[in-house]
Amino acid sequence: MGKKIACGSAALYKLHLQPYINVDLLRKLYFSIVYCHLYYAILIWGTANKTVLDSLVKLNNLALRNVCKIHTNEQISIKDLHLSTSILEINNLYKYELAKYMFMICNGIFSKEFTNEHEYKSKYHNFHTRQLDNKLLIIPLYKTVKQQRHSVYRGSKLWNGIPRDLLNRPYHTFSSFFEYKFN
């Protein structure tokens, strides 16, 4: 995947030098050449080791600099690039997709095969405690960092950190809130 993003970034570099190509066109080309590869199966490869993800982040940042027509010797914050183009960083893209995935699981949009990995806290007792909420998930007790990168662990932690009033909203409201939050 790194080769595909590097090739896309190189194509954007050649195009950003052309005076007749504007930033809007480069942004559209970014989504068709680079972003589609980043987005594909991000719930799987987004849990990869940090060293693997760092190379993809660097390639993505280079592509974004080309989209904004910023030369490599110019100093600009990567966060400013992401904000000006309204493109999520790779880590936030993973969290955004994971939040949407967890919403679909916890609201029964997916079939039972997907929901078997996640258990609600209310399943084990009916005592009235502060933590008794039908929407809170049990976070698995994984000991190693490798196990904690698993989507079941990260998804449960992310889901339990979402404000409770947001969980009962429709899917489009939920996803637009998270896109705004991570951008």
* Distance (Å, whole) CA 35 – CA 19: 23
Domain identity same for 69 and 126: no
Residues 6+ apart with CB under 8 A from 123: 138
CA separation for the pair 68, 74 (Å, rounded): 12
Question: Which of 47, 70, 87 is at the close of a domain?
Answer: 87
Same-domain check for residues 31 and 76: yes
Single-letter amino acid code for the residue at 61: N
Res 30: pLDDT: 93
Identify the pLDDT of residue 34.
93
Nearest to 117 by CA among 67, 155, 144: 155
How many Å apart are CA 126 and CA 181, to the nearest integer? Answer: 34
Task: State the pLDDT at residue 129.
Answer: 65
The whole-model pTM stands at: 0.83
Do 26 and 69 belong together in one domain?
yes
The span from the first CA to the last CA of the chain, in angstroms, equals: 24
**Residues 48 and 19 grouped into a single domain:** yes
Domain boundary among 87, 108, 129: 87
Burial class of residue 81 in the structure, from the number of CB atoms within 10 Å of its CB (0-12 exposed, 13-18 middle, 19+ buried): middle
The series of mean pLDDT values per 10 residues for the chain, 183 residues long, is 88 88 91 92 88 91 90 84 88 90 81 65 63 70 83 86 81 78 66
Please check whether residues 78 and 120 belong to one and the same domain: no
Note whether 78 and 124 are same-domain residues. Answer: no
Same domain (yes/no): 80, 115: no
Domain end position, chosen among 56, 87, 118: 87
**How many domains is the chain partitioned into structurally?**
2
Both 156 and 139 in one domain: the answer is yes
The answer to whether residues 173 and 101 belong to one domain is yes
Range of the domain at 60: 2-87
82 and 101 share one domain: no
